[in-house]
Amino acid sequence: MKKNLTILTIAVVVIGVLSCDRDNDNGNGNGTKPAPFTITAVVYNGNDYNNLISGVVAKSITRSYAMEVIASANYFNGGFTITLPATLDDKFLFSNPFSRLEASGFTISDKNARVTHFFDGMTVLANSGDNEIIGLFVHRDLNNFDAHLEGFFMYADRDVTITGTHRSVTPGGLNHTETWLVFLRKGWNKVYFKGTSEEQEITSMYVTEPIFGELNWYFFEIFWDNFAGIPGSAEAVPSVIPSVARNLSAILNNVH
């Protein structure tokens, strides 16, 4: 019996345009500077939130596991456009980030590549008029109840590919199949995740081609009065992406 992987959402943000222009690059980390990465989003019923959300900030996690602002934008007319920087400071890039994957038999085309933290490479948060963090945005498909479909963003300092399939047994005795078909270009990249869960089988797939259906942006409101600063909506987050839930408290404590 397949599990229902629904989540509690506060608002739905529908992507309008997602573009990423690339300059030519030789893939060794010394090519031409990549172009900035621009996300333009139109929020479903977004005008209802014009008085609630005044701004949007993008934050990335450093090697010391602090979240720092890398871009900001206004929220107006029910949406926003935010541009991620073409290059990132060295403190946001992790060396040897693929050690677990390599140990599991995945093929890494360039083991010297450095990338942002998996999943938490870029988090989009919403500000109030008082510049207080009041929520975060998650990119996923809510219409598919048989699978968990999610999108996240990664930055790479050069072209690198991650490919392969690994089968294992979880501590709980479930069979787990993990597949990577990820082709990162130098600069920002969008990676898609698909997870399924049946009686004794779970699967995880990561790709850079949008083959999983339509993803929308969902807004989660944060209630600071609950749980000594941990958002009351945090219980809904573990069904999004495990690392987001695991780091949510640290992320929010860093920005509140």
> At residue 225, does pLDDT exceed 70?
no
> Residues 17-29: pLDDT tens digits?
333 333 333 344 5
In a domain, 100, yes or no: yes
Q: What pLDDT is stored for residue 224 in this prediction?
A: 54
**84 belongs to a structural domain:** yes
Q: Give the per-residue pLDDT at 131.
A: 80
Q: What is the pTM of this model?
A: 0.75
Confidence of residue 42 (pLDDT cuts 50, 70, 90): confident
* Domain contains 150: yes
Mean pLDDT is highest, among 101-115, 134-148, 206-220, for 101-115
Q: Count up the domains in the chain and report the number.
A: 1
In a domain, 195, yes or no: yes
Q: Which helix (H) or strand (E) holds 133?
A: strand 133-141
Whether residue 236 lies inside any domain: the answer is: yes
Q: What is the residue range of 214's domain?
A: 11-255
Residue type, 74: N
Please give the pLDDT value at position 255: 39
Q: What are the start-end ranges of the H helices in the chain?
A: 99-103, 242-255
Closest-CA residue to 136 (of 192, 80, 57): 57
Residue-by-residue DSSP string for 107-131? EES-TT--BPPTTTT-EEEEE-TTS
Residue 115 lies in a domain: yes
Residue 3 domain flag: no
* Domain assignment present for 69: yes
